[in-house]
Amino acid sequence: MSKRLIISSLFLASMFMACGGPNNNSNNGSSSSSSSSSSTKTPAKPKAVNGAMVYKKNCVVCHGANGRMALNGAKILPESTLTLEERIMQIKKGKGAMQAYEGVLSEAAIKAVAEYTMKFK
């Protein structure tokens, strides 16, 4: 059992490292090019964040594809009684073994993934 825990922990750590931090390059390039272009152009609307994609990239390792995996103490999401606002706060601040995603994910991504997890009920 100890061997399984070590392997799971190593896998989890490698997944967190593989995901890395936020990619600020795409944001910086688009905002400066749109502001330096023509002032008569309407700025492009920001793309909607896909909560399912954010979940697959950051959450599926511990919570599983359907929110029921519960690896390393992760909660079973379909059984959660947290409100949307409480989920957003928990994603931002983290809890227990779950890392805080504030500063890692954008506000829009955090809200999108919280809304996505509400569908697991």
CATH of span 2-118: 1.10.760.10
What pLDDT band is residue 32 in, cutting at 50, 70 and 90?
A: very low
Is the pLDDT score of 5 beyond 90? no
Q: How many C-beta neighbours within 10 Å does residue 46 have?
A: 10
Which residues, other chains included, contact 115 with Cβ-Cβ below 8 Å and sequence gap of 6+?
A: 51, 84
> Can you spell out the DSSP letters for 65-118?
TTS---GGG---GGG----HHHHHHHHHH-BTTBPP-BTTB-HHHHHHHHHHHH
Per the confidence metrics, is the pTM higher than 0.95? no
Every domain of the chain and the residues it spans: 2-118
Is the pLDDT score of 33 beyond 60? no
